[in-house]
Amino acid sequence: MGLVKHQVAAFLLFILMGMGAGQRVVTIQKGPLYRVLGSHMTLWCKVSGYQGPAEQTFQWSIYQPSAPEREVQIVSTADPSFPYAIYTQRVRAQEIYVERVQGDEVLLHITELQDQDAGEYECHTPNTDERYFGSYSAKTNLTVITDTLSISMAPQELTHAEGDAIELTCEVSRSTAQHTHLSVGWYRLRGEHRAEILTLSKDFVVMPGPAYAQRFLAGSVRLDKIGSTSYKLSIVAVEPSDQGQLYCEAAEWIEDPDGTWKDISRKQSERTSLVVTPQDRDLHVGIAATKSDLSEGDTLRLNCTLETQRSDSRHFQVAWLLNSTEVARIDPRGLLVWKKEYEERASLGQLHAFKQSNAVYILTIHEVGLEDSGTYHCSVLEVKAPEDFRSIQTNLSSALRIGVKPIGLGLHATLKSRPATVSYTQSFELVCHVSSSHPVEELLLSVGWLFQSKPPTNGYQELVHVLPDGTVSWGPAQPHFQGRAQLMKSGAFSWLHIHSAMAVHEGMYQCKVGVWRTLQGQPTDSFTSNAVGIKVVPPESKLRVATRESSMEVAGGDDARIDCRVEFPLNNSQLAVSWYYLPPSPPADAIPLQIVQASHSGLLEYGAEFSSPAQKSRFLSQRVSSHLFQLWILSVSPGDQGQYCCAVEEWRWLDSGWHSLGKQWSGRTRLLLRLPESELHLEKTNHSILARHGQEVTLGCLLKSTLLPAARLSATWFHRKNDGHERPLLTLKHDGAIESLQEGLVGRLQLQRPTAGDLSLTLGSVQEDDAGTYHCLVQEWRQRGNEDKWELQAWALSGYTQLSTTTPEATVMSRICSSPSLLNFILFLPLVAILLLALAGTCWCFISRKRKKSTISGDQLMELQGAEGIKQA
């Protein structure tokens, strides 16, 4: 029993030790990789979670496509005898070697790729752990492709006078099957010193070399792409510093699966020799200020003076520079141009510049700030004519130092963008410049980046906040920027770099700067910069749809096919196709009726006029290939005649959602019906009917010809509203079945006697929406032999019936019923009259009885008095 307990304890201890040990993981550069034949190639490999020595052993092998199951050993960091014979010589000659980056990471170098180097590479690390746990090797694929990069420029020997213009053209092309980018740069070589002139990067951005930055900003040096393979360098006015050997260099770039770009080929053209002969100069430029020491809010006036002979007959461009950056310039025509950073202050009247004479130019800065302090120069360019900017000579004044003393702390932040409009997946950068009356380096500053999406939702939200001690905290807007935002700070400048911009990054940005007395607590002062807008332009649609008009004629009862063709396939997009119909002679403002739409996800949706089961079974949308779509109309009838077209919409997956890049319409196809001469005769007389709401009307459609016993009829009634839209209402099929095509009219439509040739339509309970023109289409069908196949033989259209609707006339009874007070009055009037009559009768009877009783009493009194008189007598 004790032995069992010891064994269980040992087992548990073994499990716990295993759980505590790390798991070895070998990682290799993600493939597939494409590299050019003859180029220098590197592959990285690293191991983590291992036990044992810090310096691990790495072994490289390859599985070639000709024998994918056979391992061919290349090189090892520990065993010189590891390579197979095919690689031994190249390893000894250091054409293949392993560079150790650190103890657990290496680089495999192949200095000159050969065709046999293509295949699946395996990086293996022998076990140094107490037990096997994890992965000990990793693999990646390498494809060796042909170097198709070509570059050429005819060598020349040029001699030009200073100020002349030159143009050099370099031809660059490649035919690589993979998606690659090109970068093309121009260089000047003088002795062993190489200077970059201009480069068009793989991201299609033109960047100047340090020596040519100022001339590039002034437009004096340009690099233009002419056509698909030509790159032209233009120097408006050559200078002595341009002298040397000029050539162009091209590089072909490919994006690896891990998202990094690799130059797989690089070549240089032949060289052109340029000699520049300098001109004599008699131009001297001076600069002066009213005073050089100012306080914030003072006015600064800078005078540029030109000392030269015959100045009135010569042409100059004068520019003011602050710390080597242009503020403003007046060109030879007298046109004043402010740099973008100064346009707002100039519009507010804080800046003025004018040409006093051909030799005196004045710049005035009102309410100077700390940003206006620095070193000023006047730069003068003499040109041949106001419209000819070819340079004769240039000169720069001496430096003039202007100091601006602060009033208070004067904290200020300015935000700029590079660039303001970016294409989808392009990168952009925001620069926040902090200025203060005190040296910025001596202040404890925090920088917060604010973002407001477009369209605005909850105002500005904090993207990220950097405290004075370097602590970074992300705000609620962070999820949209995860893995794409990079922060940098140097002195008074802070940068926010956004990689691979998406639509969610479009909006307004601000930087908020805070000043802290200590690293604890809260900022004592803060300033929010100006707002800068970033616009992200979606990818441009490359959709092209054939727009040629056409017509087709088909026999009645046959099937019709209408094509919609995209001119070339779009590999990264999905297409939605909608089919539309117009009557044969539509009005100019007619709106096409949608038949059916196939969305980019494949869902079908029929238009309102084609949503009945009968229409859905006859109009079919089909995708034949990636660039061909078809509409099938089965068993064509006369009502199908008209014009058909398609609308193709390009959709692409962007920002975890589908976005429409654009829609294009095809040309129209006119569909005509070919039938034998019609022997059907219908009543062609046109009628007009005025019906009140709620009435029942009958719309005539009478067959005037005799129908053969073996023939059958089908009929369709159509209704065209006043807006021009025509829709089918009801169809009588040749087998006698009746189908209502408008759900809202079920129960209100009834055919008269279709078997007797009377195909009139009864419309019950007329409504206002029923107004319009009605007609019927009648078709004659005959059976083909003994087959259960009916063929359309003839067809005819009836005359048109114009139906107008009106509200019913108001009668006495309707008026009474529509007025509750009047109805109550009429109902209670007889009762009140009877009560009044009864009361009057009662009163009359009472009065009559009273009068009768008075008359009797009088007669008796007279008799009594008479009797007494007699007695006395």
Tell me the pLDDT tens digit for each residue of 348-366. 888 999 999 999 999 999 8
Q: Mean of the pLDDT values across residues 770-780?
A: 88
Query: CB within 8 A of 603, min separation 6: which ones?
Result: none
Range 684-690, long-range pairs (CB < 8 A, 24+ positions) = 684/798, 684/799, 685/799, 686/799, 686/800, 686/801, 686/802, 687/799, 687/800, 687/801, 687/802, 688/801, 688/802, 688/804, 689/801, 689/802, 689/803, 689/804, 690/804, 690/805, 690/806
According to the model, what pLDDT value does residue 1 have?
43
Give the tens place of pLDDT for each residue, 464-511: 999 988 888 888 766 778 778 889 988 889 999 998 888 888 899 999
Burial status of residue 807 (CB atoms within 10 A of its CB: 0-12, 13-18, 19 or more): exposed
Q: Mean of the pLDDT values across residues 572-587?
A: 86
Least-confidence region, from 382-386, 794-798, 800-804, 823-827: 823-827
Query: CB within 8 A of 162, min separation 6: which ones?
Result: 237, 238, 239, 240, 276, 277, 278, 279, 391, 393
Cβ atoms < 10 Å from Cβ of 343: 13
Band of pLDDT at residue 614, cut at 50, 70 and 90: confident
DSSP characters over 626-647:
TTEEEEEE-S--GGG-EEEEEE
CB 771 within 8 A of CB 758: no
Give the tens place of pLDDT for each residue, 520-553: 767 767 889 999 999 988 888 888 898 888 888 8
Band of pLDDT at residue 189, cut at 50, 70 and 90: very high
**In a 3-state reduction of DSSP, which class is residue 817?**
helix
pLDDT of residue 73 exceeding 50, the answer is: yes
According to the model, what pLDDT value does residue 253 have?
95
Query: CB within 8 A of 75, min separation 6: which ones?
Result: 59, 60, 82, 83, 87, 91, 96, 97, 98, 108
CB 26 within 8 A of CB 135: yes
Sign of dihedral through CA atoms 813, 815, 821, 826? Answer: negative
**Single-letter residue type at 666:** S
Cβ atoms < 10 Å from Cβ of 240: 11
Least-confidence region, from 112-121, 442-451, 610-619, 853-862: 853-862
Band of pLDDT at residue 130, cut at 50, 70 and 90: confident
- Where is mean pLDDT largest: 284-293, 653-662, 742-751, 825-834? 284-293
- Please give the Cα distance from 545 to 543 (Å, whole number): 7
User: Count of alpha carbons within 13 Å of 200, Cβ hemisphere only?
Assistant: 21
Beta pairing, strands 550-555 & 619-625: unpaired
According to the model, what pLDDT value does residue 128 have?
85
CB 669 within 8 A of CB 548: no
**In a 3-state reduction of DSSP, which class is residue 863?**
helix
Tokens of 839: 């009361």
Q: In 3D, which of 291, 282, 550, 272 has the Cα closest to residue 392?
A: 282
Sign of dihedral through CA atoms 107, 108, 109, 115? Answer: negative
pLDDT of residue 856 exceeding 90, the answer is: no
Band of pLDDT at residue 517, cut at 50, 70 and 90: low
- Please give the Cα distance from 854 to 868 (Å, whole number): 22
**Single-letter residue type at 341:** E
Give the tens place of pLDDT for each residue, 160-178: 987 789 999 999 999 999 9
Q: Mean of the pLDDT values across residues 718-743?
A: 80
pLDDT of residue 791 exceeding 70, the answer is: yes
Q: What percent of the chain has pLDDT over 90?
A: 42
Tokens of 230: 């030509």
User: Count of alpha carbons within 13 Å of 303, Cβ hemisphere only?
Assistant: 12
**In a 3-state reduction of DSSP, which class is residue 544?**
coil
According to the model, what pLDDT value does residue 820 have?
62
Band of pLDDT at residue 433, cut at 50, 70 and 90: very high
pLDDT of residue 19 exceeding 70, the answer is: no
According to the model, what pLDDT value does residue 662 have?
84
Give the tens place of pLDDT for each residue, 397-426: 999 999 987 666 678 889 998 788 888 888
- Where is mean pLDDT largest: 322-336, 515-529, 791-805? 322-336
Q: Mean of the pLDDT values across residues 700-716?
A: 81
Looking at every residue in the chain, the average pLDDT score rounds to 84
Tokens of 141: 């694929």
pTM for the model: 0.37
